[in-house]
Chain A
């Protein structure tokens, strides 16, 4: 067995308070080098605040935090010199052209201009933006802007890439292009830390994740392990019409391992969804629609919090 490498990020009882409100309320986690680590949770869970503290731009209220064995309170610029940051909303420089955005950003790390220019061209290729080098930022599509922001975050060859909601607001095709790029980085051994409220994104990209809600960690593990622990193998979704769902739910006693009643549908957790559907119809209940699917992180979140991830 290889020895376990020292973590690149260690957070212990991390707290961030704004006046009386605790945006982050005692979070602890570790990220190993080369790992792809996710913070999954709804909007306002404290994911972005955690990311800003890890990114050494937000001072923690209490708790311990170390990034690359350094304390962000004292070594902000040192830590940031080794990070790549993709913020939630693009803050590309609209006054500069695409390639100049990369060059200027590289200079903030004190990199020599020649090296920055060469690196900018490599990254334009990586981000599939070569033919946009001279374009204005405002003329790029949302997906292109995100790719440029990721390229910008890579200008310093970061050891850790922080991505805050990397694909929010993108169309499915743009998301898949982006995931492909991030997957390549992961393969190259870049440590990825990302926040998301998309369970499919977390399942695609994260080796391990924490489920965050109201500033605290609800669960931790790999996507598969979380699903195994907090959900069944399959989920049967049945709809009886929005007025009847609640009424029908009372007659589903003994069906499935667990039943969740949502306003628009009923979720039946079971290792065999089809069998449960048969049992339901045997009771004389006939759903308008039915669907059997594999459990996802969405179900984990629902189980843990009683709420849906995206409301």
Chain B
């Protein structure tokens, strides 16, 4: 006797309820399983980087700055306090520059697991969602640990500084999702991601007011900061970390700019994935 009292269509309709609702989370779950395989790298960079950067930049370079310019040399705070929120944002951008590039290239091209997910009930957009969710979790861990180190180094004078964790995460996501839209379109891999790291990520880190205020750069280079999500994030996190004075309208611009990049990058990537997987 047949035990199927439901028709195939009814089975199908009930079978897709959970994937339609939670598909993005299933993809995130996949990402976490994969991250487990490079957990050591995640842990070492997550703990090692804040220590190294805060120590060498903040304490090492900072003492040089203080010797020459006094203890409240930059923006009325110590160099360590000035540079720490920027390093936090920069760490977030480093995480997203990694997570939104190679895994995306891998899934579409080298080891096309995205096609396998899509052959299951997962929709292309949910694959992108899942990547974003998993990166948010990793960012929260990375930035949280970084912040603990900042407090430990005495780099955060204000209690509001904890908000800079969220600012850093938003900064990373704004940059990362935009990068993902580009990486998702790569059909022929000719080392574009390595180029991106060298010619976009590195200059952006150097020219986004990270190590010195944007205003101390020649005017014709300052535009790099204005379009750089890292500069907007860094400025915003300084407001929370030590109360850097910033006009209210500019704070609004920072938030809107970062939020817009994040949302546009996310939605755009979804569209590209849908187009690319539907052949």
Are B117 and A108 touching (Cβ within 8 A)? Answer: yes
Q: Does B64 contact A (CB under 8 A)?
A: no
Are A52 and B16 touching (Cβ within 8 A)? Answer: no
Q: Identify B19's interface contact among A33, A69, A77, A91, CB under 8 A.
A: A77
Task: Indicate whether A81 sits within 8 Å of B16 (C-beta atoms), given known contacts A91-B116, A105-B120.
Answer: yes
Q: Does A107 contact B (CB under 8 A)?
A: yes
A123, B193: Cα distance in complex, Å:
38
Q: Identify B121's interface contact among A59, A77, A91, CB under 8 A.
A: A77
Using Cβ atoms and an 8 Å threshold, which residues of chain B touch A52?
279
**Interface residue count for A (Cβ, 8 Å)?**
37
Task: Indicate whether A81 sits within 8 Å of B111 (C-beta atoms), given known contacts A70-B9, A104-B29.
Answer: no
Q: Does B113 contact A (CB under 8 A)?
A: yes
Are B11 and A82 touching (Cβ within 8 A)? Answer: yes
Which of the 9-residue segments B20-28, B41-49, B147-155, B223-231 touches chain A? B20-28
Q: Does B163 contact A (CB under 8 A)?
A: no
Q: Identify A68's interface contact among B8, B37, B277, B279, CB under 8 A.
A: B8
A100, B29: Cα distance in complex, Å:
12
Q: Does B12 contact A (CB under 8 A)?
A: yes
| Minimal Cβ-Cβ distance residue in B for A160 | B8
Q: Identify A80's interface contact among B18, B34, B115, B120, CB under 8 A.
A: B120
Chain B 114-156 against A: per-residue CB contact (8 Å), 1 yes, 0 no? 0111111111000000000000000000000000000000000
Are B7 and A69 touching (Cβ within 8 A)? Answer: yes
Q: Does B33 contact A (CB under 8 A)?
A: yes
- Which one of A52, A78, A83 has the greatest number of beta carbons of chain B within 10 Å? A78
Using Cβ atoms and an 8 Å threshold, which residues of chain B touch A78?
9, 12-13, 15-16, 121
Using Cβ atoms and an 8 Å threshold, which residues of chain A touch B118?
57
Task: Indicate whether A109 sits within 8 Å of B12 (C-beta atoms), given known contacts A77-B19, A91-B115.
Answer: no
Are B122 and A95 touching (Cβ within 8 A)? Answer: no
Q: Does A275 contact B (CB under 8 A)?
A: no
Q: Does B5 contact A (CB under 8 A)?
A: no
A8, B11: Cα distance in complex, Å:
13
A104, B25: Cα distance in complex, Å:
12
Using Cβ atoms and an 8 Å threshold, which residues of chain A touch B106?
95
Within 8 A of B (CB), among A76-109: 76-83, 85, 87, 91-96, 100, 104-105, 107-109
Q: Does A208 contact B (CB under 8 A)?
A: no
A55, B121: Cα distance in complex, Å:
10
Within 8 A of B (CB), among A113-153: 152
Using Cβ atoms and an 8 Å threshold, which residues of chain A touch B279?
52, 57-58
Interface size classification for chain B = 35 or more
Are B113 and A58 touching (Cβ within 8 A)? Answer: no
Using Cβ atoms and an 8 Å threshold, which residues of chain A touch B60?
none
Q: Does B70 contact A (CB under 8 A)?
A: no
Using Cβ atoms and an 8 Å threshold, which residues of chain A touch B123?
76-77
What's the least CB distance linking B101 to chain A, in Å? 15
Q: Identify B30's interface contact among A58, A94, A107, A110, CB under 8 A.
A: A107
Q: Does B40 contact A (CB under 8 A)?
A: no
Q: Identify B120's interface contact among A8, A95, A109, A159, CB under 8 A.
A: A109
Are A68 and B9 touching (Cβ within 8 A)? Answer: yes
Using Cβ atoms and an 8 Å threshold, which residues of chain A touch B7?
68-69
Q: Identify B26's interface contact among A55, A107, A159, CB under 8 A.
A: A107
A68, B34: Cα distance in complex, Å:
34
Q: Does B112 contact A (CB under 8 A)?
A: yes
Are B22 and A110 touching (Cβ within 8 A)? Answer: yes
Are B19 and A110 touching (Cβ within 8 A)? Answer: yes
Q: Does B278 contact A (CB under 8 A)?
A: yes
Q: Identify B277's interface contact among A57, A152, A156, CB under 8 A.
A: A57
What's the least CB distance linking A69 to chain B, in Å? 4
Using Cβ atoms and an 8 Å threshold, which residues of chain A touch B33?
96, 100, 104
Q: Does B17 contact A (CB under 8 A)?
A: yes
Q: Identify A110's interface contact among B8, B9, B13, B17, CB under 8 A.
A: B17
The 5 closest A-B pairs by CB, nearest first: A110-B18, A81-B15, A68-B8, A108-B120, A77-B121
30 contacting pairs across A/B (C-beta < 8 A): A8-B8, A33-B8, A57-B118, A57-B278, A59-B278, A68-B8, A69-B7, A70-B13, A77-B19, A77-B23, A78-B16, A80-B16, A80-B120, A81-B11, A81-B16, A82-B8, A82-B11, A85-B120, A93-B34, A93-B111, A95-B34, A95-B37, A96-B34, A104-B29, A105-B120, A107-B29, A108-B23, A110-B18, A110-B121, A159-B11
List residues of chain B with CB under 8 Å of any chain A CB.
Answer: 7-9, 11-13, 15-20, 22-23, 26-27, 29-30, 33-34, 37, 106, 111-113, 115-123, 277-279
